[in-house]
Amino acid sequence: MRRTLALLILTALAPAAALAQSAGEVERCFQNPAVCGQGGGGVAPAPTGGAPVAATRPAAPAADYTTVLQSPEPDRKRIQESLRTLDKYNGPIDGNLQSEATTKAISDWQKGHGTNPVGKLTPQEAQQLNAEAAKAPIRRIEPPPQTATAPATAPAPPSQSNADALKALQARLAERRKAAEPKADAAAQALIRDLKAYVAADGKGMAGDQFAAFAKWYADTKAAGRTVGDIAPIIDDYGDAKVGAAVASEVLFETKQGSANQSHCLVFAWIEGNPRKNAQAFSCDDIAGVEKWKTDQALKSAWR
């Protein structure tokens, strides 16, 4: 009688899966409860003190945006170019994927693909974006339509060719140089007078004080037993500088030792004034030194 009562109680309390068990299985479970938890067809017991706990799923991995943001600059620029090809971006191709224009373009592209518009790309999205741009057809840029106010029969003005533009630039430069030549020639001739006076005074005068490199060259020439003959200038550059008119002139010196003649070339550069300002002399081979002097003076050339 007791066994029958126990079977009835177990049957009432067991879950639906347990109700489907045979009477023999229930009886074995009653006699030996350990069998129920060892694959005997019973329901695994719930943890002590509460209902069964549902198994938790592992969290989905976070999206990788860092890889693309920290990719090499050429790769980041390619993404901007792909966005431009797909008409999503019209900003500079500078590789800055975090600029406002670039993040908006990425968000627009992501919206069109039904993904979360975060404005940043995973490596897979970057690959997909570049692939789409590579397949995009090359669009021909059509000329803008003629405005209604323009005469229908008026021909469009011909575009200026590169050759025409170069000729126009050369013409403007020739006019500017022609206007500057008298001042440049006067400055160069004044220098030649000072140089000849220095040589005539055997190393004394204004030219040596203003151009230390020339004074050294003259002293070395004299020590070598050579004498200075003809002195001739050629204007190298002329124009407006930040503190006045700047002049650079190549000067050719003829020297003689016995029956042997030799030529020497120096570049004199200065800002016009009395005395001359920022005066320096260079070897004609020191092109970098001469150009640096012009840059330092902010020279706006009328010669080039």
CATH number at 66-132 = 1.10.101
pLDDT at 271 over 60: yes
In whole angstroms, what is the distance from residue 1 CA to residue 14 CA? 21
* Contacting residues for 23 by C-beta, under 8 A, at least 6 apart: 7
Of 262, 267, 263, 269, the closest CA to residue 297 belongs to: 269
Average pLDDT over residues 250-259: 90
pLDDT at 56: 61
Q: Kindly report, residue by residue over 28-43, the tens digit of the pLDDT.
A: 665 666 555 554 444 4
In whole angstroms, what is the distance from residue 270 CA to residue 212 CA? 13
First to last CA, the chain: 123
pLDDT at 173: 81
Q: Which helix (H) or strand (E) holds 214?
A: helix 212-223
Is the CA virtual torsion 280, 286, 287, 291 positive or negative? Answer: negative
The domains of the chain are located at 2-37, 66-132, 174-301
pLDDT at 134: 87
Please state which of the ranges 115-119, 136-140, 224-228 shows the lowest mean pLDDT: 136-140
Answer yes or no: pTM beyond 0.95.
no
pLDDT at 40: 46
Report helix, strand or coil for 129: helix
In whole angstroms, what is the distance from residue 202 CA to residue 219 CA? 9
Percent of residues, the chain, with pLDDT higher than 90: 49
Location of structure tokens 């509460």? 50
The second-level CATH assignment, the architecture, of 174-301 is: Roll (3.10)
| Contact between residue 95 and residue 80 where contact means Cβ atoms under 8 Å apart | yes
Going from the C-alpha of 49 to that of each of 29, 45, 263, 271, the distances in angstroms are: 22, 11, 110, 98
pLDDT at 189: 93
Q: Which helix (H) or strand (E) holds 277?
A: strand 277-283
In whole angstroms, what is the distance from residue 38 CA to residue 295 CA? 92
> Higher model confidence: residue 276 or residue 63?
276
pLDDT at 304: 80
Of 162, 167, 296, 183, the closest CA to residue 242 belongs to: 296
Of 101, 130, 138, 106, the closest CA to residue 120 belongs to: 106
Q: How many other CB atoms are found less than 10 A from the CB of residue 113?
A: 11
Is the CA virtual torsion 58, 63, 66, 71 positive or negative? Answer: positive
pLDDT at 186 over 90: yes
| 260-271 sheet: strands from edge to edge | 277-283, 260-271, 244-257, 227-241, 300-301
